[in-house]
Amino acid sequence: MQESRLFKIVYYLLEKGQATAPELAEKFEVSVRTIYRDIDALSGAGIPVYTETGRGGGIYLMKDFVLDKAVLSAEEKQEILTALQSLHTTQNIHDSQTMQKLCALFRLGLQDWLEVDFSRWGNDGFDHEKFEGLKSAVLHNQAVKIHYADSYGQTRERIVHPYKLSYKANAWYLNAFCTDKQDWRFFKLNRILALEILNESFSPRPFPKPAATCGQEYPLVTLRFPREMAYRVYDEFDDTQIRRQADGGFLVSARMPNDAWLTGFLLSFGTQVDILSPASLQAAVAEQARQIYEKNRT
């Protein structure tokens, strides 16, 4: 236990730069006296840790100190290489010397067992360029002009301040501040038809809390599917949301945003879905289907 705490103290000082003994005692749930004993033990082991007394004093590490690679276990080294390997499509990491240097440093071979490809089938170019461009804009706080297709198929031009790329429900999204709406928006990457990185930087603003912590609660949607739709049901829903029925069909209960996206999503199932609740969703899908019929009838 003491050895684990000693490493944690070193990691903490590397991250924070300095700390007081009472601060470390509270964090690691030990006495101040124990912390000073730990500091003595680290110093005796050759770790360049020292204390300064007086106002503004504390416990410090020498500025140029780095942890020796031997601190990492073989499993931890392999986990680092695997994590970097999984990101090679977004950072072109295999084309650089980063992986080779780390393999040599860790004295481990790289097992080519994992590939993460962000592009859609039949598209090897623009999806990668789009992801790479947005990643650069996020990291450098650059404004981006996008041409975006909304849920109704209308294409609009927007200027956004990108903050985060996130992956959810089998799709990539850009979380950004829309300068047109003056509000936060999620943009599905597949619907970004074109983008331009602008020569315009922005000052980061406080990032909003996740919707779940802001009190937003989606309505419970209950759906029934025939057994022929098993491939779609398991593609779109978590197993905990699915109940198999006696006839082989599926009953799905999930909290989902009751908006235009959900209406279009359910219409993609055609006649192979029964909307059991809420009633407002039944009416919205029926009305949209009626409009589609009227528009395309001959």
Give the model confidence (pLDDT) of 105-131 as tens digits.
555 555 555 556 666 666 656 777 888
What radius of gyration do the chain's Cα atoms show?
27
Tokens 């992801």 found at: 131
Pairwise pLDDT comparison (6 vs 228), residue with the higher score: 228
Q: What is the mean pLDDT of the chain?
A: 80
Give the pLDDT band (50/70/90) at residue 147. Answer: very high
Q: How far is the C-alpha of 282 from the C-alpha of 286, rounded, in Å?
A: 6
Region 176-191: mean pLDDT is 89
The tokens of 121 are what?
A: 């089938």
User: What is the pLDDT, as a whole number, of residue 95?
Assistant: 46
pLDDT, position 215? 37
**Would you say the pTM of this structure is higher than 0.85?**
no
CB 144 within 8 A of CB 157: no
